[in-house]
């Protein structure tokens, strides 16, 4: 293990490469990253780096977002099979057909989408800024939000924009948490705070003491005076939570089926040190995007990144 870590480090230096990782990746991947973040922080980082090569330790739409923002850089993905069930729940062709019914609407898309969907979008958002993005749209404008129905419904309840049209997509990890098991854990640990990601179902969010993006949950856990938490999001986040707060206890919320391990994102977990080493060494699995499509998609991300919320 330490060999592969030092080989990756040497390659990074020689090739002026940077490794960006999401908090849902394996602990050992997070530990060798130059930067770990949630989707919002990673988008910012990808647009600002002066590295020649970006190795994106995450899923495909994240690497694609980095390429949209940094078209002159080589963006490599350790495993091209690392997709996203949420992004897959909204195909660009179907979304385009859907939008024909809402010609006068502002289109807001979660960043968990393909470049094709982003090209149809007016402004992107992540879970870290979705509330501000919706609030920034004048009250007399109608909105289509895609693709996450749970985040969409959560946004309706927080912003009062109840007429927002929401695409019917979801993430297979965040859909699977069991309300009954969370309530059972709350009975067992009455002092525990429940932290949940807004991609979870409404019934799950109702059990939460705090709802936020991956980065917001990490911040809350560190700043809270409580020292036991039930964490309702992808289990990879526990690595950083525990690192930041060694004396606190974090319990991963269980999915409905306790044998499936489905509070792990199987796509994020495809990223391994071996694959990172391989793509860096051989400069393979490069992300390519048609330039016309890239330009169409870029505006929706830049509008998000340049907004002063």
Provide the binding-site residues for ligand SF4, judged by CB under 6 A. Answer: 24, 59, 84-86, 112, 171-173, 234, 265, 267-268
The reply to whether omega before 147 is within 30° of 0 (cis) is: yes
Instruction: Return d(Cα 233, Cα 250) in angstroms, integer.
Output: 12
262 binds, among ligand 13P, ligand SF4, none (CB under 5 to 8 A by kind): none
| CB 213, min distance to ligand 13P, A | 4
| CB 171, min distance to ligand SF4, A | 3
Number of residues lying near ligand 13P (CB under 6 A): 11
Residue from the set 127, 153, 235, 285 that interacts with ligand 13P by CB under 6 A: 127
Instruction: Return d(Cα 149, Cα 216) in angstroms, integer.
Output: 20
Can residue 207 be called a binding residue for ligand 13P (CB under 6 A)?
A: no
* Chain CA centroid to CA 42, Å: 9
Query: Residue 139 gets which letter from DSSP?
Result: T
In the 3-class helix/strand/coil scheme, how is 60-96 assigned residue by residue?
HHHHHHHHHHCCCCEEECCCCCCCCHHHHCCCHHHHH
Q: Which of residues 20-39 bind ligand 13P (CB under 6 A)?
A: 38-39
| CB 265, min distance to ligand SF4, A | 3
85 binds, among ligand SF4, ligand 13P, none (CB under 5 to 8 A by kind): ligand SF4
Altogether, the residues listed in the chain come to a count of 309
89 binds, among ligand SF4, ligand 13P, none (CB under 5 to 8 A by kind): none
Identity of the residue, 11 or 221, whose beta carbon is nearer to ligand 13P in the bound complex: 221
Copy the structure tokens of residue 281. 């060494």
Instruction: Return d(Cα 187, Cα 299) in angstroms, integer.
Output: 48
């Amino acid at each position: 293990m330490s060999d592969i870590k030092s080989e990756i480090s040497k390659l990074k230096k020689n090739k002026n490469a940077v490794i960006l990782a999401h908090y849902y990746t394996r602990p050992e991947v997070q530990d060798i990253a130059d930067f770990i973040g949630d989707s919002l922080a990673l988008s910012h980082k990808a647009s600002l780096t002066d590295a020649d090569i970006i190795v994106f330790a995450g899923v495909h739409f994240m690497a694609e977002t980095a390429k949209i923002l940094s078209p002159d850089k080589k963006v490599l993905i350790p495993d091209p099979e690392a997709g996203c069930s949420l992004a897959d729940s909204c195909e660009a062709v179907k979304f385009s057909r859907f939008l024909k019914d809402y010609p006068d609407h502002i289109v807001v898309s979660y960043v968990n989408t393909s470049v094709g969907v982003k090209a149809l979008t007016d402004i992107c958002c992540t879970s870290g800024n979705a509330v501000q993005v919706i609030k920034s749209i004048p009250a007399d404008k109608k909105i289509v939000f895609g693709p996450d129905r749970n985040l969409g419904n959560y946004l309706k309840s927080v912003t009062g924009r109840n007429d927002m049209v929401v695409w019917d997509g979801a993430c297979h990890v965040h859909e699977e948490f069991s309300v009954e098991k969370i309530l059972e854990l709350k009975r067992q640990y009455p002092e525990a705070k429940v932290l949940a990601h807004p991609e979870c179902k409404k019934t799950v969010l109702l059990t939460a003491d705090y709802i936020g993006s991956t980065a917001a949950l990490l911040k809350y856990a560190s700043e809270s005076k409580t020292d036991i938490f039930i964490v309702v999001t992808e289990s990879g986040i526990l690595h950083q939570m525990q690192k930041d707060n060694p004396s606190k206890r974090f319990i991963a919320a269980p999915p409905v089926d306790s044998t499936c391990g489905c509070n792990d994102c199987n796509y994020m977990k495809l990223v391994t040190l071996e694959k990172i080493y391989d793509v860096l060494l051989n400069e393979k699995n490069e992300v390519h995007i048609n330039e016309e499509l890239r330009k169409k998609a870029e505006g929706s991300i830049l509008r998000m990144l340049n907004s002063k919320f």
